[in-house]
Amino acid sequence: MTSSANEIVDGHRVWAEIDLDALSHNVDQLMQRVRPGTQVLAVVKADAYGHGAVPVARSLSAHPGLWGFGVGDSNEALELRAAGIDRPILVLGTIIPEEVPQVVSHDVQVCIHSADRIESLEAESLRQGRRTRVHLMADTGMGRLGAQPPRALELARRLAGSPGLELVGLATHVSASRPGHPFTVVQKDRLDRMLAALAAEGIAPPLVHFANTAAILGDVGTGLPLVRPGISLYGVVGAEMASLAPALQPVMSLRTQVVYLKDVPAGTPVGYNGTHVTARPTRIATLPIGYNDGLAYRLSNCGCVLVRGRRAPIVGSISMDYTMIDVGEVPDVGVGDTVTLIGADGDQRITVTELARLAGTIPYEIACSVGKRVRRVYLRPSHRSAPQIAAP
């Protein structure tokens, strides 16, 4: 972990350090919880939960336990293909008709939920002279996408006889986001029954998959050929999972620097609408990070940051580009000092989970809202190489 970023990262207003060693360590940790031979379908949708899909996928491609990548739409798949990622890529949700030609031409695998998508994918595959690999998605209790089991069986029969499509997978999505939820076991039973019904008709898709992070940590569906971790790859787990996954390491640190300091008397209003008024003479530092960079507005007047190894409170309303902190209790703060929003500084650490709790949201939203203009800096501490700065 890099606790003092000043020495290695200069010249950014706001940056996210992405620790690729921690990422690969987390895959190792997850692999220890699944049956030998089970592979990882690494979920890199939403720009790898804000971590940068291309560098994350490049880094994970080398991992021996990796099968391929799960994305949210065909543009995310194409971005990986354009970057030279040649592993299997699966669009986890559904595609819309406009996406059909490009998934076929770029060898992107698709989840199937309905007959109309089967028809358009099949026609386009035949037109391009290709075979498209598909995974049938059954709804076992998520109630979002996915075909209900009787309908899913019909779709499976249709796919088994398809000229342009190859049924390579059967999947379902888990509704519970905490490990140990009894409904996850109910969903797994429904999937098992579907598998048995398919097998009775001689249909046996090789890639059966079920487990998201919560199911992996709760050990349900971890004996199937693939597991689909997302948030745990990035070392973010909710409080209720922390004891199950103590060894996961946070991958992202979010940092900025002090750009302005002023000493103010008691009674000074700070920020829009003066929602904070100083109670005593103090020193206010201004940071060039706002809600556009992913610092949740809800943290106004309630979050903390780390500066010089100490906690300093966010004061006033967070604005689009700037945030103020009170550093009256932190000695020797100077303009240019590194400020940590997420991550460690000395022996203090702020986690995504802590921010989510304070902001009244879920860790997923905090992670994937880290803004576009935040520079991602990819670090591989074990290689001791210079940091690689990805395009903004």
Ligand X SMILES: *Cc1c(COP(=O)(O)O)cnc(C)c1O
Q: Where do contacts with ligand X occur on this chain (CB under 6 A)? A: 43, 45, 92, 173, 212-213, 228-232
Catalytic residue list contains 45 = yes
Instruction: For residue 358, give every residue at least 6 positions away whose Cβ sits within 8 Å of its Cβ, in sequence order, or none.
Output: 298, 299, 302, 303
Give, in order, the Cα–Cα distances in Å from 256 to each of 20, 85, 155, 278, 313.
20, 31, 51, 23, 15
**Cα–Cα separations (whole angstroms), residue 54 to 12, 61, 84, 292, 333:** 21, 10, 9, 22, 36
Written as six digits, the tokens of 33 are 């919880």
Cα maximum dimension of the chain: 79
> Any residues with CB less than 8 A from the CB of 128 and at least 6 apart, and which?
101, 104, 105
> Is 364 part of the annotated catalytic residue set?
no
How near is the Cβ of 134 to ligand X at its closest, in Å?
14
Could you give phi then psi for residue 228, rounded to 5 degrees?
Answer: -125, 70
If the CB atoms of residues 146 and 290 are measured against ligand X, the closer one turns out to be 146
Q: CB of residue 250 vs ligand X: minimum separation in angstroms?
A: 15
* Residue with smaller CB distance to ligand X, 92 or 159: 92
| In the complex, residue closest to ligand X by CB | 230
Reduce the DSSP state of residue 24 to 3 states and report it.
Answer: helix
User: Can you name the residues that pair with 14 across neighbouring β-strands?
Assistant: 256
Percent of the chain that is helix, strand, coil (3-state, to 5): 35, 25, 40
Supply the minimum distance, in Å, between the C-beta of residue 72 and ligand X.
Answer: 7
* Min dist. Cβ of residue 212 to ligand X (A): 4
In whole angstroms, how close is the CB of 319 to ligand X at the nearest point?
30
Q: CB count, 10 Å around CB of 364?
A: 19
Q: Which of 45, 49, 364, 378 is catalytic?
A: 45
Q: What is the 3-state secondary structure (H, E, C) of 109-140?
A: EEEECCHHHHHHHHHHHHHHCCCEEEEEEECC
Q: 103 vs 270, which CB is nearer to ligand X? A: 103
Minimum CB separation from ligand X for residue 58, in Å?
Answer: 20
Nearer to ligand X, 135 or 255 (CB): 135
- Nearer to ligand X by Cβ, of 183 and 260: the residue is 183
Tell me how many degrees the CA angle 31-239-300 measures, rounded to the nearest 5.
125
| Residue closer to ligand X, measured from CB, 45 or 376 | 45
Q: Which helix (H) or strand (E) holds 308?
A: none
User: What's the rounded Cα separation, in Å, for the pair 311 and 346?
Assistant: 11
Catalytic residue among 260, 262, 272, 372: 272
- Which regions of 299-368 does DSSP assign to beta strands (E)? 304-307, 310-315, 323-326, 338-345, 348-350
Shortest CB 289 distance to ligand X, Å: 25
Nearer to ligand X, 173 or 188 (CB): 173
Which residues are tagged catalytic? 45, 272
